[in-house]
């Protein structure tokens, strides 16, 4: 089992928050709330529903946006720290989550518990007000702006119900090594992943 790590990103999160909110209506309009094959409704098991950016997470990648070079670097540094694997190629699928008052990310994981692969999942707190925690196998970590948390993708995680008046914004991502990317990622989805 990989350890859970949290570190400061030193990223301009105010700028990223504006970018997410600016792109949100465009993404909601352009992409369906469906799996990559367009056969099933999808929100990643989060409970955020069909009107969320999360439900379009397999159709866009935040790391393709202008100005995300520092985030790519910080994701790579974190991956090397958590896995102790240096100078390897990684592939990242990255999306934004926007929650509004009364919404909650329900318990879910990004890989089944029986998965033999040590894939890594993470998120960056972009605009949080300090009132919510994310729970990892039931253990809470208070959300703080600018912090990145990385953990093994099999870990079940969820959030408190958000009660704030403005949007709660995070950027989440899955990280695969070359072998995992080649064998576990659907061919149609590969075009949305970023090689770092």
40-67 residue pLDDT tens: 888 989 999 999 999 999 999 999 999 9
How many domains are there within the chain? 1
Here the CATH number for the domain that contains residue 99 is: 2.60.120.620
C-alpha 60: how far from its chain's center? Answer: 12
Give the pLDDT confidence score for residue 116 in this predicted structure.
60
Report, as an integer, the average pLDDT of 3-20. 97
Give the pLDDT band (50/70/90) at residue 109.
very high
The mean pLDDT value for 98-108 works out to 97
Does residue 92 have a pLDDT over 90? yes
Rounded Cα–Cα distance for residues 166 and 115 (Å): 37
Q: Give the residue, 150 or 36, on which the prediction is more confident.
A: 150
Q: How far apart are CA 141 and CA 76, in angstroms?
A: 22
Its pTM stands at 0.94
Q: Which long-range contacts (CB under 8 A, 24 or more apart) does 68-73 make?
A: 68/16, 70/9, 70/10, 70/11, 71/9, 71/11, 71/16, 71/124, 71/171, 72/194, 72/196
**pLDDT higher at 185 or 91:** 91
User: Are the beta carbons of 6 and 148 closer than 8 angstroms?
Assistant: yes
Region of poorest pLDDT, from 30-34, 113-117, 175-179: 113-117
- Tell me what pLDDT residue 34 has: 84
pLDDT computed for residue 115 by the predictor: 65
The predicted structure's pLDDT at residue 67: 93
CB contact burial 77-114 (16+ within 10 A = b; e otherwise): ebbeebbeeeeeebbbbbbbbbbeeebebeeebbbeee
CA distance 153 to 117: 9
Structure tokens at 181: 């990317």
Percentage of the chain exceeding pLDDT 90? 84
Q: What is the pLDDT of residue 4?
A: 96
**Three-state secondary-structure class, residue 27:** helix
Rounded CA-CA distance 141/155 in Å is 14
**Distance (Å, rounded) from C-alpha 3 to C-alpha 175?**
15
Note down the domain range covering 129.
5-195
Average pLDDT over residues 32-38: 81
Measured CA to CA, the distance from residue 125 to residue 12 in angstroms comes to 11
pLDDT for residue 187: 87
């Amino acid at each position: 089992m990989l350890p859970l790590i949290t570190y400061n990103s030193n990223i301009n999160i105010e700028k990223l928050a504006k970018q997410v909110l600016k792109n949100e209506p465009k993404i909601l309009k352009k992409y369906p709330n469906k799996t990559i094959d367009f056969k099933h409704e999808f929100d990643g098991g989060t409970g955020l529903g069909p009107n969320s950016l999360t439900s379009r997470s397999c159709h866009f990648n935040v790391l393709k946006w202008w100005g995300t070079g520092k985030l790519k670097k910080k994701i790579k540094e974190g991956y090397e720290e958590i896995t102790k694997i240096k100078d390897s190629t990684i592939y990242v699928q990255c999306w934004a989550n926007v929650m509004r008052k009364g919404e909650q990310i329900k318990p879910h994981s990004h890989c089944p518990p029986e998965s033999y692969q040590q894939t890594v999942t993470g998120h960056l707190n972009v605009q949080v007000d300090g009132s919510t925690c994310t729970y990892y196998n039931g253990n809470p970590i208070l959300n703080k702006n600018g912090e990145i948390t990385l953990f093994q993708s099999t870990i079940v995680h969820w959030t408190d119900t958000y009660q704030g008046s403005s949007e709660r914004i995070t950027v989440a991502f899955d990280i695969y090594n070359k072998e995992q990317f080649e064998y576990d990622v659907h061919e149609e989805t590969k075009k949305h992943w970023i090689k770092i």
